[in-house]
Amino acid sequence: MTRPLFPIRTECPPGACVCGREALLQSPGGDMRVLQLTREEEKRLLHRLEHLQSLAELRHIEARMQQQLGIRLSITPNPQEVRTLRGIPILVHEQPGLCRKTRQAIPAAIRKAMEQHPEIVFDLLNETSLFAGL
């Protein structure tokens, strides 16, 4: 088992998570970037997501998460209509090494920011609207 040169996330208690951390550590050539998200770094990320101010900032953080950690997000409103904030699905794609709790905490933090700043939701809806190209 080769250990990465950077500090990695500590393992979850047995049976609490099915992230596949150990399998990722033992697979040669696996994408270990997600293991850089230690518990302290996760807290910083969630704090930053909870305090988003705009859709541009959300898109920037989304791109940085993809680039630095390999975490992919999908935030797309329903094409028919959105009546509540819960109508906007926020999906964190599964990947080996990404903890189940983290996959749940990221959308919750983004929703919290959207509740505090509804203009993020409006901009997100306008991004996919009929008049988006104008």
At 42-86, the pLDDT tens digits run 999 999 999 999 999 999 999 999 999 999 999 887 666 666 667
Structure-block tokens of residue 110: 């983004």
Which pLDDT tens digit goes with each residue over 90-127? 999 988 888 888 999 999 999 999 999 999 988 888 88
Question: Which of 69, 19, 67, 13 lies closest to 41 in space, CA to CA?
Answer: 69
Contact 72, 104 (CB under 8 A): no
Q: Among 123, 127, 120, 124, which residue's Cα sits nearest to residue 51?
A: 120
Cα angle 108-112-118, degrees, rounded to a multiple of 5: 135
Cα–Cα distance measured from residue 23 to residue 56, given in angstroms and rounded to the nearest whole number = 36
For 49, phi then psi, to 5°, come to: -65, -35
